[in-house]
Amino acid sequence: MSLATTQSVAEIKARNKQLIDEVLKVYPEKTAKRRAKHLNVHEAGKSDCGVKSNLKSIPGVMTIRGCAYAGSKGVVWGPIKDMIHISHGPVGCGQYSWAARRNYYIGTTGIDTFVTMQFTSDFQEKDIVFGGDKKLAKIIDEIQELFPLNHGITIQSECPIGLIGDDIEAVSKVKSKEYDGKTIVPVRCEGFRGVSQSLGHHIANDAVRDWIFDKVNPEAKPAFESTPYDVAIIGDYNIGGDAWSSRILLEEMGLRVIAQWSGDGSLAELEATPKAKLNVLHCYRSMNYISRHMEEKFGIPWCEYNFFGPSKIAESLRKIASFFDDKIKEGAERVIAKYQPLMDAVIAKYRPRLEGKTVILFVGGLRPRHVIGAYEDLGMEVVGTGYEFGHNDDYQRTAQHYVKDGTLIYDDVTGYEFERFVEKIQPDLVGSGIKEKYVFQKMGVPFRQMHSWDYSGPYHGYDGFAIFARDMDMAINSPIWKKTKAPWKDAPRPSLMAAE
């Protein structure tokens, strides 16, 4: 059993406050002052988590964050499957992000779809000195020749592009004209812009607005007949098939999904989205911008939802249905009822094995809050959480709808802080990314990657919850964690003994 279950909320709060004070001691004074604003213990009833966010990471502290390029190419644009995304600049950015994010899609890769490929301009010194615009123009020609079925091209800027003054917009316009109005999207997502991936999401959203929406011919013949039940899934990247196990539920309740953003998405779906009657938004952080734009420009309402765990799924299906007529509302009830036996069976099997287990999270996007309900469905408790690149509106949502009194909150956590927190709190599970996974496993703490689902998934929807529950169980209850100490060494730490 974990510590948390044997302590009162007051004790936990005191311990967490003391923990924060302890970690701050390691920093030089100036850094300690800055970091203090990002760490807090949640007080029930407060409208946010009481931390500053979306500020620059501090040099040298080992932030977990990435960059704007990662937010645009890696997150928003990369999964659009029938377009070719050029990592424009030196070779590394495209190489390290090549196929690493598990954005599932259906297509003949290299012929009509291109997600798991790495297209790069592989900048050399001469491109830095003389500029890369001519090279870019030539690259577009070569793409057209060798990959004739591509539906469009995006140019994902790496750091040097903005520094050497290349005019990728001009190249895009010229080439688009040359290829009969072909969609060519320049994206100014240089890695030094902003403070994290987050600005890259925003820039990528704006690029959709400016270079896709604004170029769609409103007179063009519709590709399909609209129905009153047309919706678009916004902010699901189809990690391990998440968007598919979500889409099936929306369709089963009687809605028609006309677009997926952007997992398994296509240019045609992006272009058709303004025809949706409702945008359903999963990852608020990365795609609220385009949702707000569509609301303002096309009058399309949007609705946040959460498809992790049966409680939140049912709540979300009803919330989505509330935008439609009785047919859909009944559909939502039908879907919830249909999957109830599966959910009962999953919970009956796994909850007894997971009841009372504690979890510490540190992830990006929506997950620091969205997965809490799924853990609670399994009887588990999230005792600490934080956002890699969240903003204040994320922390508001977290405080108002998700976390419990006394939860430890850490924004843009540093490697040092995270390690100390886990060491002192001794949770039963840590959920974070690949850079963190092995650190905690070495410490003997069960871990699941909550970006890539540790190569499992989907975790969204009812079908996904069964996998989620199975995975958490196999992480926590793996027999290997009993073997981390050699039997001839001392028994487990005294702190754990006391808790038991």
Partner 1 sequence: MTQNAEHVLDHFELFRGPEYQQMLANKKTLFENPHDPAEVERIREWAKTPEYREKNFAREALTVNPAKACQPLGAVFVAVGFEGTLPFVHGSQGCVAYYRSHLSRHFKEPSSCVSSSMTEDAAVFGGLNNMIDGLANTYNMYKPKMIAVSTTCMAEVIGDDLNAFIKTAKEKGSVPAEYDVPFAHTPAFVGSHVTGYDNALKGILEHFWDGKAGTAPKLERKENGKINFIGGFDGYTVGNIREIKRIFELMGIEYTILADNSDVFDTPTDGEFRMYDGGTTLEDAANAIHAKATISMQQYCTEKTLPFIENHGHEVAAFNHPVGVSATDDFLMTLSRISGKPIAKALEQERGRLVDAMADSSAHIHGKKFAIYGDPDLCYGLASFLLELGAEPTHVLSTNGSKAWAEKMEALFASSPFGKNCHAYPGKDLWHMRSLLFTEPVDFLIGNTYGKYLERDTGTPLIRIGFPVFDRHHHHRYPVWGYQGGMNVLVKILDKIFDEIDKNTNVPAKTDYSFDIIR
Shortest CB 340 distance to partner 1, Å:
11
Measured from the CB atom, the residue of 94 and 406 that comes closer to partner 1 is 94
* Residue 405 DSSP SS3: coil
Active site residue 303: no
In whole angstroms, give the CA distance from residue 278 to residue 262: 16
- Residue 144 exposed, middle or buried by CB count within 10 Å (0-12, 13-18, 19+): middle
Catalytic residue among 4, 49, 68, 70: 70
Residues 6+ apart with CB under 8 A from 350: 378, 469, 470, 472, 473
Measured from the CB atom, the residue of 136 and 281 that comes closer to partner 1 is 136
Active site residue 93: no
Shortest CB 94 distance to partner 1, Å:
8
Measured from the CB atom, the residue of 224 and 298 that comes closer to partner 1 is 224
Active site residue 399: no
Catalytic residue among 101, 202, 397, 448: 101
Shortest CB 328 distance to partner 1, Å:
18
Catalytic residue among 4, 49, 67, 207: 67
Shortest CB 499 distance to partner 1, Å:
16
Measured from the CB atom, the residue of 70 and 185 that comes closer to partner 1 is 70
141 - beta bridge partners? none
Measured from the CB atom, the residue of 125 and 326 that comes closer to partner 1 is 125
Shortest CB 63 distance to partner 1, Å:
6
Closest CA to 170 of 209, 216, 136, 193: 136
Q: What angle do CA 344, 335, 106 make, to 5 degrees?
A: 100
Measured from the CB atom, the residue of 2 and 197 that comes closer to partner 1 is 197
DSSP of 147-187, one letter per residue?
A: -TT--EEEEEE-HHHHHHT--HHHHHHHHHHHTTT--EEEE
Shortest CB 229 distance to partner 1, Å:
13
End-to-end CA distance of the chain, in Å? 6
- 415-425 helix and 9-24 helix, angle to the nearest 10 degrees: 150
Catalytic residue among 188, 201, 370, 460: 201
DSSP of 322-377, one letter per residue?
A: TTS-HHHHHHHHHHHHHHHHHHHHHHHHHHHHHTT-EEEE-BSTTHHHHTHHHHHH
Measured from the CB atom, the residue of 309 and 406 that comes closer to partner 1 is 309
Active site residue 70: yes
Shortest CB 208 distance to partner 1, Å:
17
* Residue 71 DSSP SS3: helix
- In angstroms, what CA-CA distances link 487 with 81, 428, 484, 490? 52, 21, 9, 8
- In angstroms, what CA-CA distances link 75 with 69, 81, 109, 189, 365? 9, 13, 19, 12, 10
Is the distance from CB of 359 to CB of 427 less than 8 angstroms? yes
* Residue 121 DSSP SS3: coil
Active site residues: 67, 70, 101, 201
